Amino acid sequence: MNIIKAIIFGIIEGITEWLPISSTGHLILAETFMKFENLSVDFWNVFEVVIQLGAILAVVLLYFKNIWPIKKDKEKKKITFDKEILNLWGKIIVACLPAIIIVLFGIDEIAEAKFYNPTCIAIMLILVGIAFIIIESKLHKEPRVTKMKELTYKDAIIIGLFQIIAAIFPGTSRSGATIIGALLIGISRTVAAEYTFYLAIPAMCGASLLKVLKFGFNFTGEEFAVLLVGTIIAFIVSVFVIKFLMNYIKKHDFKAFGWYRIVLGIIVLMLGLLKVIA
């Protein structure tokens, strides 16, 4: 049964990590009604973070040519470095600095202890949903940045600051926060979404490593199998979801995700008030 549950959790992670609808909000609901049997709470805390590595591998697979700076010159028979890609990584690192500072000072752990509850998660689901609707309806204008290479370091820092909101308030959605930040400063939907994918690589790899180091490597055979299955499923689902999102936003805006977040937030709020989830 735990393997079946790992498959379901992997599907949820693969879908909700890339769509701006909060993986935390969905996982807390799923975990409430479908807990692992005979596995510790500490393992669940590791599981929900580490399966994100599967989602990250999907980004690496789909965008490898865009993010791998080492190139082989067949004519000159030597290794070269793509300056444009190196410049992109510079912007990725700059955008991740605010979140790194939050982690180094332990603010994320304090925030998790304070805000990781159904009420706060529901509020953030609703508020970010409203933000998407307002931005797309009233504030979003003709974008000034339509290609990744047009993104500046100033843009990267501003988007990175929006990641702080997601790091502090569960239910915000990391992708949701960064996409909102990007839209507000005039970045096109496609560039905003793609850049969010890239930002996830160092952010999630770092978070996963910290969780595993804190938990230790003393996984039982069953725990390792559950973790592996969840990660693989998250990877497979993520490949399809990323492709879907990039095709979707070429013709549509993010308002549908905003409305979905509001409905989900209301459901989480009601279940929290009724003590169904805690």
Using an 8 Å Cβ cutoff, are 195 and 178 in contact? Answer: yes
Residue 145 DSSP class? B
* pLDDT value of residue 252: 92
In Å, what is the CA distance from 202 to each residue of 54, 96, 206, 209, 211?
13, 8, 6, 10, 14
Q: What is the mean pLDDT of residues 172-178?
A: 92
What pLDDT does residue 276 have? Answer: 83
Rounded mean pLDDT of 162-188?
Answer: 92
The token pair at 122 is 């529901």
Place of tokens 């496609």: 190
Condensed to tens digits (0 to 9), the pLDDT of residues 201-247 reads 998 887 777 777 776 777 788 888 999 999 999 999 999 999 999 99
Query: Of all residues in the chain, what percent carry a pLDDT higher than 70?
Result: 97
- The predicted-structure confidence for 21-76, as pLDDT tens digits, reads as follows 988 778 878 887 888 888 777 787 788 888 888 999 999 999 999 999 988 776 66
d(CA 162, CA 246): 21
Alpha carbon dihedral 41, 42, 47, 50, in 10-degree steps, equals: 160
The alpha carbon of residue 181 and the mean position of all alpha carbons in its chain are separated, in whole angstroms, by: 14
Q: What is the pLDDT of residues 243-265, one digit of tens each?
A: 999 999 999 999 999 999 999 99
pLDDT in tens, 121-151: 899 999 999 999 999 998 767 899 999 999 9
Which residues, including other chains, have CB under 8 Å from residue 143's CB and lie 6 or more apart? 186, 187, 188, 189, 191
Nearest to 164 by CA among 96, 104, 258, 113: 96
Mean local confidence (pLDDT), 169-192:
93
